[in-house]
Every structure is written in structure tokens, then in C-alpha cells.
């Protein structure tokens, strides 16, 4: 069983969505949870004046509280826990050197804290993947070798796609060759494949619309939009590589869009679970029907449950803290 939640770094305390997740995790110790990036949102004084979201973890008491609102729910949990980086964890910077320096502060804080939670199955292993600003891919086997989870850092890929340097091409060629090899190996072993990242390949929402003026002229904002050239190029390359496998059990899981989305396309499953702490409503005209939009536009998380040769995808969501948690099967339930 796999729990998926993203963009959970807005709250100073553990909110209803994270409390719901903790209950599910503790009830199912034979499971894993993955936080899908943007683990801490901060605004500098200047960015706050202009309402710009550019910051991430800075090791301040305030930032530590925001991370602990998520990391703290792992106390007493007996499964495995992982965090991956998003663009905010890089501070939306397009300089690898500057972004990595800030990213590593967050990585150290998360891993040092989780090491103290000795009930965690993987507390003595790396829990922030890919580590050290690498794009990955990092491949781990779960479920007795029946499931392969591949961790990638899509913001590092987007940064490199926008750099016109030979070193960027070398890094990207190596990444895609390594990813192709891991996908081929997992396909040959008849494993289910789950690629976890921060940025979606297919999604609906504010990051998937037409470029606004700020995104056209400032790259650190443009890189967050699927239509910005470096992001678009990365998404096309990833999608093409996944489809080449002709494998019906590939899941691409992401956050970034602050909504809950499930899209099936060409036998691939695309899950967007970015409603861990904030919402950017998907417009009704983007949805198949009004009911779908109502589900997507609520905070929550996903659960993927594997049993035998089948799996189910369940969305958990609630309208507000006073409402009851709703369990909604989106695919494969008995």
C-alpha cells in the first residue's frame, strides 16, 4: 500500500489532511508514504510584498515548524517514509549551485529527524530522494519485488533543459539513458512501475494554462508552467520514454498542481496529488463533469493498493476541517 501526498508545506501545524493521512498510515503499517515535493513554502520580505511564491526551507524556527507539521506524523509509524524535492525546495532558483545549497539544508533536517523515529522501517536509510540535488533516477523495489518505485527530481531536469551548456546535455543524456534502463529492467521482470516526481506530465490547473506575463519574462516563474519550453521539453521526453515500454502498469505520480487529479491515457496512469495543504481550484470547464471538479478541488491525498496482479487507486478528500473524510475509488476497486 502506498500513500501519496504533495505540496503539504503550507501549514505551521498539522492540519486535517495530514491528520487523516497519519490515521491511515498507522492503521496500515505494511505500507509506504511519499511526500511529493514543495515541502516548505516561505516568502521573503520582498516576495511577500508582491505576493510571489519563491522561497523554501531556510532552517529558521518558522520553516522547521512547517516541515515538522509533516515529518512529525511519522512518529510511531512502522512503514517506510520518503520525501522528494519540488521547485520550492530549490527556492525556484535556476542556479544549481545556489539552489542545491538551500536544498541540502532541508534534506539534512528531514533525514536527521526521521533517523530518530526508530519505528520507521527505513529510518537508517536515505529518506530524501533523489539526494544531494541529483536528478536521479533512484530505483527501489517494494512489495516483494513486484513493484518498482523510481524517484526523480524534475526541477533539476527543468533547470538543465534551460541551460545551453555541454555539461547540461551530458547530464540529461545520462539521466534519460539511466531511466530507460531502469524502466526496461522493471518491465522485463514484470514489475509494476511507479515514477514519483514533483512536476506533472499531464494535469489541469493554474500551472498548466497559458503563460502569464511574469512567466514569459522571468524564467524562475516560467519554469513552473507546463507550457514553458524547458518544462514542456522535459514532460515530452518523460512521457515518450514511459510510453515506449508498452507496459500497462506504469504510474506517473506528481504534485505541483494544488489539486487531486487522476488521468488515464494510453494505458498509463497519471496521478496528481498536490492538495496536501493548499488549493488552486481546477476550473469546471477543464473537468469531464461537475462532480469530478468537486472531488479535485478539495484537500486530500491518494492511496494505491496492490493486491495480486491488480491494484486500486483511492482518493481521500474533505471539503473542510469540519466535514467528514470522503473515500472515493477512482480506479480498480473490488
Residue linked to cell 462532480? 291
pLDDT at 214 over 80: no
Task: Give the residue-averaged pLDDT of 63-89.
Answer: 96
Task: Give the residue-averaged pLDDT of 137-150.
Answer: 93
The reported pLDDT for the residue numbered 52 is 60
In which band, very low, low, confident or very high, does the pLDDT at 307 lie, cut at 50, 70 and 90? confident
Task: Give the residue-averaged pLDDT of 57-68.
Answer: 93
How confident is the model over 104-135, as pLDDT tens digits?
A: 999 999 999 999 999 999 999 999 999 999 99
Task: Give the residue-averaged pLDDT of 220-245.
Answer: 90
How does 68-88 read in b/e, with b if 16+ C-beta sit within 10 Å? Answer: bbbbebbeebebbbbbbbbbb
The reported pLDDT for the residue numbered 294 is 53
CB neighbours of residue 144 within 10 Å: 6
pLDDT at 265 over 90: no
Give the span between the Cα atoms of 280 and 205, in whole angstroms: 7
- Percent of the chain at pLDDT exceeding 70: 91
Give the span between the Cα atoms of 88 and 183, in whole angstroms: 28
The reported pLDDT for the residue numbered 24 is 96
Give the span between the Cα atoms of 95 and 76, in whole angstroms: 38
Task: Give the residue-averaged pLDDT of 307-333.
Answer: 84
pLDDT at 330 over 90: no
Average pLDDT of the chain to the nearest whole number: 89
In which band, very low, low, confident or very high, does the pLDDT at 219 lie, cut at 50, 70 and 90? confident
Task: Give the residue-averaged pLDDT of 17-44.
Answer: 93
Whether the pTM exceeds 0.75: the reply is yes
Close Cβ partners of 213 (under 8 Å, ≥ 6 residues apart): none
Task: Give the residue-averaged pLDDT of 16-22.
Answer: 95
How confident is the model over 152-197, as pLDDT tens digits?
A: 999 999 999 998 889 999 999 999 999 999 999 999 999 999 999 9
In the chain the domains, ranked by start, together with CATH numbers, are 2-331 (3.60.21.10)
The reported pLDDT for the residue numbered 48 is 47
The reported pLDDT for the residue numbered 224 is 86
Task: Give the residue-averaged pLDDT of 10-15.
Answer: 88
- Percent of the chain at pLDDT exceeding 90: 65
3-state secondary structure of 301: strand
In which band, very low, low, confident or very high, does the pLDDT at 308 lie, cut at 50, 70 and 90? low
Do 122 and 80 contact (CB within 8 A), yes or no? Answer: yes
In which band, very low, low, confident or very high, does the pLDDT at 23 lie, cut at 50, 70 and 90? very high
Longest dimension (CA), the chain: 54
Greater model confidence, 322 or 62: 62
Task: Give the residue-averaged pLDDT of 32-38.
Answer: 97
The reported pLDDT for the residue numbered 171 is 97
- Least confidently predicted of 9-13, 55-59, 126-130, 306-310: 306-310
In which band, very low, low, confident or very high, does the pLDDT at 223 lie, cut at 50, 70 and 90? confident
Residue linked to cell 524534475? 154
Amino acid at each position: 500500500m502506498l500513500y501519496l501526498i504533495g505540496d503539504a508545506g503550507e501549514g505551521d501545524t498539522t492540519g486535517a489532511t495530514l491528520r487523516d493521512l497519519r490515521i491511515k498510515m498507522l492503521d496500515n503499517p505494511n505500507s509506504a508514504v511519499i511526500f511529493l515535493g514543495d515541502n516548505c513554502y516561505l516568502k521573503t520580505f520582498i516576495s511577500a510584498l508582491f505576493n510571489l511564491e519563491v522561497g523554501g526551507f531556510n532552517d529558521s524556527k518558522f520553516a522547521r515548524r512547517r516541515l515538522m507539521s509533516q515529518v512529525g506524523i511519522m512518529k510511531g509509524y512502522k512503514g517506510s517514509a520518503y520525501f522528494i524535492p519540488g521547485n520550492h525546495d530549490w527556492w525556484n532558483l535556476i542556479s544549481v549551485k545556489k539552489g542545491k545549497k538551500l536544498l541540502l539544508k532541508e534534506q539534512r533536517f528531514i533525514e536527521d529527524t526521521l533517523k530518530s523515529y526508530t519505528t520507521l522501517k527505513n529510518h537508517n536509510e536515505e529518506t530524501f530522494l533523489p539526494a544531494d540535488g541529483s536528478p536521479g533516477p533512484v530505483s527501489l523495489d517494494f512489495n516483494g519485488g513486484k513493484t518498482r518505485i523510481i524517484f526523480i527530481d524534475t526541477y533539476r531536469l527543468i533547470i538543465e533543459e534551460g541551460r545551453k551548456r555541454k555539461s547540461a546535455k551530458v547530464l540529461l543524456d545520462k539521466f534519460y539513458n539511466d531511466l530507460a534502463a531502469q524502466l526496461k529492467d522493471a518491465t522485463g521482470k514484470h514489475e509494476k512501475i511507479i515514477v514519483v516526481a514533483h512536476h506533472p506530465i499531464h494535469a489541469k490547473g493554474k500551472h498548466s494554462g497559458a503563460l502569464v506575463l511574469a512567466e514569459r519574462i522571468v524564467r524562475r516563474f516560467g519554469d513552473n508552467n507546463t507550457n514553458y519550453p524547458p518544462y514542456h521539453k522535459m514532460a515530452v521526453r518523460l512521457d515518450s520514454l514511459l510510453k515506449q515500454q508498452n507496459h500497462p502498469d506504469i504510474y506517473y505520480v506528481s504534485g505541483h498542481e494544488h489539486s487531486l487529479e487522476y488521468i488515464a491515457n494510453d494505458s498509463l496512469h497519471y496521478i496528481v496529488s498536490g492538495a496536501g495543504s493548499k488549493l488552486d481550484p481546477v476550473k469546471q470547464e477543464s473537468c469531464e463533469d461537475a462532480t469530478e471538479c468537486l472531488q479535485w478541488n478539495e484537500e486530500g491525498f491518494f492511496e494505491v493498493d496492490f493486491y495480486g496482479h491488480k491494484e486500486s487507486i483511492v482518493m481521500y478528500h474533505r471539503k473542510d476541517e469540519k466535514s467528514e473524510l470522503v473515500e472515493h475509488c477512482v480506479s480498480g476497486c473490488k
